[in-house]
């Protein structure tokens, strides 16, 4: 089921939670005065922020390697070949 809220499409998702995690989620949500659904949304937002790559930290990581990008790619792929 999808709904619109402030020009944002919201999709309903079913999530199976083990009992210990559900109880902990319910306790935290109760303390914060939010619904279980809002607790899951907040947790998901935090997890997605944590998993988002920091491109600045890896940009130019191989800039000191000899050769251009194509030769580096070919060398790496050659490692995958079976003897």
Q: Is residue 27 part of a domain?
A: yes
Q: Is residue 19 part of a domain?
A: yes
User: Are the C-beta atoms of residues 44 and 37 closer than 8 Å to each other?
Assistant: no
Q: Is residue 46 part of a domain?
A: yes
- State how far the Cα of 65 lies from the Cα of 42, in Å rounded to an integer: 41
Q: Is residue 71 part of a domain?
A: no
CATH code for the domain in which residue 14 is found: 1.10.1220
Domains: count for the chain: 1
What's the full length of the chain, in residues? 83
Q: Is residue 31 part of a domain?
A: yes
Provide the pLDDT for residue 41. 94
Residue 7, pLDDT > 80, answer no
pLDDT band, residue 4 (cuts 50/70/90): low
User: Are the C-beta atoms of residues 38 and 29 closer than 8 Å to each other?
Assistant: yes
At 42, phi and psi to the nearest 5? -65, -45
Q: Is residue 16 part of a domain?
A: yes
**Domain span holding position 9:** 1-54
pLDDT in tens, 15-63: 999 999 999 999 999 999 999 999 999 999 999 988 887 777 778 877 7
- State how far the Cα of 45 lies from the Cα of 71, in Å rounded to an integer: 39
């Amino acid at each position: 089921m999808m709904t619109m809220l402030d020009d944002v499409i919201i999709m309903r998702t079913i999530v199976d939670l083990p009992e210990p995690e559900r109880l902990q989620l319910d306790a935290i949500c109760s303390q914060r005065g939010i619904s279980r659904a809002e607790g899951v949304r907040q947790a998901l937002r935090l997890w997605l922020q944590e998993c988002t790559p920091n491109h600045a930290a890896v940009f130019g990581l191989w800039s000191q390697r000899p050769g251009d990008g194509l030769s580096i790619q070919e060398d790496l792929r050659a490692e995958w070949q079976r003897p």
